[in-house]
Each structure stands twice: as structure tokens, then as C-alpha cells.
Structure 1
Amino acid sequence: MSLGDQIAANLPYLRRYARALTGSQSSGDAFVRTTLEAALADPSLKQSLQDGRVALYRAFTKVWSSACLETESLGGDNAGLHETLARERLGAITPLNRQALLLTTLEDFSSTEAARIMDLDEETVEGLVREAVEEIDRESTTNVLIIEDEPLISMQLEDLVQSLGHEICGTAATRTQAQQVVAERRPGLVLADIQLADGSSGLDAVDDILAIGSVPVIFITAYPERLLTGDRPEPTYLITKPFQELTVRAAISQALFFGSSQPLA
């Protein structure tokens, strides 16, 4: 496989990771684009990408870390408005423990692979993951709407959400049912499948909710490729079925951490 084909195959998932890190598609895509531009300008970096998916994420992490350090070093008390706004945007930067958790859950890397990506030792990465999980357990709670047409999966998500201390404001298997739940109580977080029981779309159900107001949304689907095309705004948080419970926990934590108001932008 050529380097171009190899990067193209992994790019949708790197973009997913970048969105989860930054809390938005525009910011995530900007970091991915900068990574690719850096690879084009640096033959040694470009050559390193021949090593596969781990190398691509490692290159991205170096760009991400460098950008964060540059922002932190801007201007001090004499910084202009642009620099101040830049610092504020990265003020809620995803800390290392969340990066480690996302790599080992959402992106399904081993601790060894995540350690290489983050340029840390494996023991440190495992410690960061434990720290992130403990942090999740201390987070404030919200009420959650589950849009899922498979009863067993819906019940599994209910149990998981409640184990984190959140409240279920309703469950829905169709777009119409989702509308009925939201009419009675607006959720603070939505977990949504794409393909629903009556042939309706979870995307449409989410659009209905966002038309009322901002709310973080996590899509959980067996068909991630339908939303990883780059042809339309893509979800900030996208989990593939079958999922690990820790992956859902990490996505919920990250969504609430950023309070994302534009899950499809």
C-alpha cells in the first residue's frame, strides 16, 4: 500500500480523535491539516509515516503539543487581543490523562502503542488512564436522552449512564419518540444511534433537538463510515459498535468537559 493510501485509510479516524480532543470539527481538522502539511515539508517526518497508524498519531501529537506550548508562551500581560483569545481557546486544553484515555478507548490503541504516540513510558500512560477514570467519577452529573432502537443496547447504555451518576430523562427508539421526550424535558446530553426502528434517522432526531438549543451529542453506531466521509459536517463524538463501556465513559466525559454545542460542526 502506498503512503498516500495508508494515510487516507487512517485519516477519518485521526480526524475523529482530533475532534474529540479539541471539542469541535473545525479545530480538530485544523490540527490534522497542519500535521499533513508538516509531513510534506519534512522528509524525515514523511518517511516516519510509513510505519503506519501509530506513526500518524504520533506525528499529530507532536504538532498538537507544539501548538499548545506556543499558545502558553504568548505575550503575558502585554499580549494583544488575538493572543489572549488564543490562550482562552486552549485554556480548556485536553490534559494528558484524557489524551491517554481517548487513545486507549476511542481509538483502541494498546498502552504500549499509546506510550509511543505520546512519547511516554507505558507505566505512565496506564497511570494517566487510571487518573482520567477517577476524574470521570468525580464529574458533575446531567440528564441524558438515549436514542437507540435495540432494547438490549439501550438498557446497557442506561445502566452505564446511571452508574456514572447521571439521570435518564428518557429513551427513544424513533425520531418521533425523541421529539416527545424533548418536549417534556430538555436533555443535557444525547446518546444517539443513526439507524432507528421505524426507518427514521438519528441524525434527524438530533437536528430536531439542536434546533431547540445547544446540547452535547455522542453518536454510537455500527456504521461509522456513514459519518466519516468528510462530505458533510461530522460528529465531534462518534463511537463504533460494538463498544467498550470505557469508550462511552470517555466520550461522555469529554463531551461534558467541553460542553460542545455543535456536535455536527
Structure 2
Amino acid sequence: MTARILIIEDEALVAMELRFVLEDLGHEVIGTAADAATARNLVAENEVDLALVDIHLSDGPTGIGLGRELGQDRGVSVLFMTANPGMVRDGVAGTIGVLSKPTDERAVQTAVDYALRRRQGRPVEFAPPELQLFG
């Protein structure tokens, strides 16, 4: 199942590594954004299935609001990826869950697969252990 994925991450090396992992899995990375404005522009110009969103971006802790906006208003499936999972402990409306950083390739793959199966309405028996689900 190939998806169009947006990486919203201000650390260039992390974003590049995520891009490599996702492309190796056969997904199309439509872009990377280091701040909320760039992310909004990429979503406006492209069809996005899934966004991987860090909480702290180059314009501050804007990821939470951005994730809510993409999930609720734009129909994008959203997974947070952050070193600060406690910031979204109570969940964020319109989003799926949070993957703690640092993480590994297998955790990214299983979390992305889970999110995409949910998006397509396909059965998901359980979430990967590294993925903390909301609600």
C-alpha cells in the first residue's frame, strides 16, 4: 500500500533519514517541512495521506496545533513523532497517536502501516507497541 507522506520535522538529518526509510518502503514523500507555514503550503498544493509531525518545529511548539488542523480540517492522517510524548499525553483531536523519538526503522514502518490501514478502513488488530494511540 503506497501512500503520499509529508514529513514535518525541523531537524534536517532526522527528516532525511525518515525520507530514506519511507521511500525504501515504497511510499512517496511529497516533501519535508521545518515549520507550520511550509507544511500548510505543501498540504495545500498536494494530496497527502499521512503526515509525520514533530511537536517542536523551527517556529516553536507549533506541531500540536498543526496536527489537529491537518487531521480535523484537511483529512490527513496524522502521527506525531517527538522526543516529548508527554506534551500530547491526553491526545490531540483528529490525530492517531504518537511515536517517541528516537525510534528505529521497524517502529516507523509498523506505525505507518498501522496508520494507513486505519485510513483505508482495513482491519487493524492492534497497534505496534511503540505507538501510543489517542482516544
What TM-score does the superposition give when structure 2 sets the normalisation length?
0.81
SS where residue 48 of structure 2 aligns? coil
> Structure 1 residues 260, 150: CA separation in 2 closer, same or farther (over 3 Å shift)?
farther
What TM-score does the superposition give when structure 1 sets the normalisation length?
0.43
Q: Whose helix proportion is higher, 1 or 2? A: 1
Q: Is the Cα–Cα contact under 8 Å of residues 143 and 166 in structure 1 kept in the other structure?
A: yes
Q: Whose strand proportion is higher, 1 or 2? A: 2
> Structure 1 residues 231, 200: CA separation in 2 closer, same or farther (over 3 Å shift)?
closer
Deviation at 1:237, TM superposition (A): 2.5
Aligned counterpart, 2:2: 141
2:50, 2:38 → 1: CA distance?
16
> Structure 1 residues 227, 234: CA separation in 2 closer, same or farther (over 3 Å shift)?
farther
Q: Structure 1 stretches of 5 or more lacking a match? A: 1-139
> Structure 1 residues 207, 244: CA separation in 2 closer, same or farther (over 3 Å shift)?
same
Q: Is the Cα–Cα contact under 8 Å of residues 216 and 260 in structure 1 kept in the other structure?
A: no
1:232, 1:142 → 2: CA distance?
23
> Structure 1 residues 154, 231: CA separation in 2 closer, same or farther (over 3 Å shift)?
closer
SS where residue 218 of structure 1 aligns? strand
Deviation at 1:208, TM superposition (A): 2.9
> Structure 1 residues 260, 239: CA separation in 2 closer, same or farther (over 3 Å shift)?
farther
Aligned counterpart, 1:169: 30
Aligned counterpart, 2:79: 218
Q: How big is each residue's C-alpha offset from its partner over 1:172-207, in whole Å with a ceiling of 9 and x where there is no partner?
A: 000001011011112111101001012141112223
Q: How big is each residue's C-alpha offset from its partner over 1:37-71, in whole Å with a ceiling of 9 and x where there is no partner?
A: xxxxxxxxxxxxxxxxxxxxxxxxxxxxxxxxxxx
2:91, 2:46 → 1: CA distance?
33
> Structure 1 residues 233, 188: CA separation in 2 closer, same or farther (over 3 Å shift)?
closer
User: C-alpha root-mean-square deviation of aligned residues, in Å?
Assistant: 2.3
Q: For 2:97, which of 237, 245, 248 is the aligned residue?
A: 237
Deviation at 1:234, TM superposition (A): 8.8
Q: Is the Cα–Cα contact under 8 Å of residues 218 and 239 in structure 1 kept in the other structure?
A: yes
Q: Is the Cα–Cα contact under 8 Å of residues 237 and 251 in structure 1 kept in the other structure?
A: no
Q: Structure 2 stretches of 5 or more lacking a match? A: 122-132
2:74, 2:91 → 1: CA distance?
24
Q: Is the Cα–Cα contact under 8 Å of residues 175 and 200 in structure 1 kept in the other structure?
A: no
Aligned counterpart, 2:48: 187
1:147, 1:240 → 2: CA distance?
15
The correspondence of residues 1-265 of structure 1 with structure 2, limited to 5 A, is 140-228=1-89, 230=90, 233=93, 235-259=95-119
> Structure 1 residues 210, 236: CA separation in 2 closer, same or farther (over 3 Å shift)?
closer
1:175, 1:151 → 2: CA distance?
15
> Structure 1 residues 252, 203: CA separation in 2 closer, same or farther (over 3 Å shift)?
same
Deviation at 1:219, TM superposition (A): 0.7
> Structure 1 residues 207, 233: CA separation in 2 closer, same or farther (over 3 Å shift)?
closer
